Structure 1
Amino acid sequence: MPVRVQTEDFDLGAEIAALRAGDPCVGAVATFLGTVRDANPDLGDGEVRELVLEHYPGMTEKSLEAICAEARGRWDLLDILVIHRVGPLRPTDQIVLVAVTSAHRGEAFAACEFVMDYLKTRAPFWKKERTPDGERWVEARDSDDSAADRWAS
């Protein structure tokens, strides 16, 4: 199961094409693409000029692999791809791609959402926003925890 943490951008179409790779068993591909916004609702209308993502190398990849393995244990999936960027990013830049293939759409949708919900709450990433007023670390949101909690078995 491909998991990549990288500074460089990725080609969404090429990544999905490679994931499918002409596999005739694939009946569904569900994806989530996260991008950098130019504002943070927690700041009111505060402008975000740059988002810096940091991670714990090695531990982050293992955490993402464990999340993907858990998704595979819950649903009948063909493949999962997670790409997460780190380093400085600007508004409109791609941050994260989660793509899931399966024979049926329901499993692909559920697994994609599960992976993203757990990634937001369990993977060791830290975000710092740079605004006209300075820098600040982005704190975890209760809504992210609630989204992940609904998957508890």
Structure 2
Amino acid sequence: MTTNTSFSEADLEGLVLEWLGDGWRPAHGQDIAPGTGERESWDELLIRPRLLAALRRLNRGVPEQYLQQACAEIAAPASQDAITENYRMHKMFVDGYRMSYLDPDGTEQNPTLRLIGAEETDNDWIAVSQVTLVQGDYKRRFDVALYCNGMPVSIMELKRA
């Protein structure tokens, strides 16, 4: 008698979320779907409210309006090329986001905003299963998307063993 020891994709997904459980809070794609207060639309993977919350938490002293402006600028792609965009985001993760504004006294401020904190506990880590992305007629469901401070940092596609 043989025993079926292969995992389904759903089993593997659950196992991956369990393994990630020490640092990553598990969630389901429905939890971050548009209309939940998380993702703004089906065609965007970014979770803007979490990014804005991280900018506030990591960059105290920068006025709210400029943090909102930075969030919008960070989220806006500068290129349609995936490699170029990945490099742009990587640079911001490592070097921060440089901006300029005038404070209430009229003095120009040039802070470099941090997107990711130096300590693990400074950041919001979530592992989300079954994240749906819709762009025109193109619909894709990712098995697991890893987010740090609302920014997708990794996508996992799992296959049945």
TM-score by length of 2: 0.27
TM-score by length of 1: 0.28
Larger strand percent: 1
Larger radius of gyration: 2
